[in-house]
Amino acid sequence: MFSTRVPADLAPNRLTVAERAIRARGGRLIDLTETNPTRVGLAYPQDAPAALASPAGLSYDPQPFGLAEARRPIEALGIQPSDDPTAIARRHLRAMPRSLRTLLRTMGALEARGGVLASYLLFESSYTTELMRLGRSDAEARRADIEGYLAGARRPGR
């Protein structure tokens, strides 16, 4: 007995009928639900089988927290904007359409911390240009740190 969720009529649905017709004509379908990489036509590198010949692959030693190599600390470089994006957004609020400014004011979004919401909504050229200028300036000020980070060197002070 089938579940009551399974329809009594097990005839192929429209999608199945269309799929069969395409395949019958020699057409090709891409099944985005396929999880077997060997059946989706991926081109593997010629040296892929060599990875199976590695001695490390001969032993199975599961670790409860994963391999130590995968848990090692990674370097990260964080750069905070030298000017508050919320303050920049407030300077450019006049560039927003009046109706949107009215809506933001009605919602209270133009009060003390409302610039945060405005900064997400504000994509006017003058605002984005100022943000990009700030980003370039901040990156230039930290050029040595960024280049060292990208080269794999440790950051200053670490």
Domain ranges of the chain: 85-151
CA nearest to 88, candidates 65, 57, 120: 120
Neighbours of 82 (CB within 10 A): 11
Q: CA–CA separation, 148 vs 76, rounded Å?
A: 11
Contact assessment for residue 91 and residue 119, using Cβ atoms and an 8 Å cutoff? no
Cα torsion 8, 11, 13, 14 to 10°: value is -140
Residue 65: which pLDDT band, with cuts at 50, 70 and 90?
confident
**In terms of DSSP H, where are the helices of 25-124?**
48-52, 68-71, 85-91, 98-107, 115-121
> Tell me: the pLDDT tens digits for 6-53?
777 788 889 889 999 999 999 988 777 877 777 777 777 888 788 778
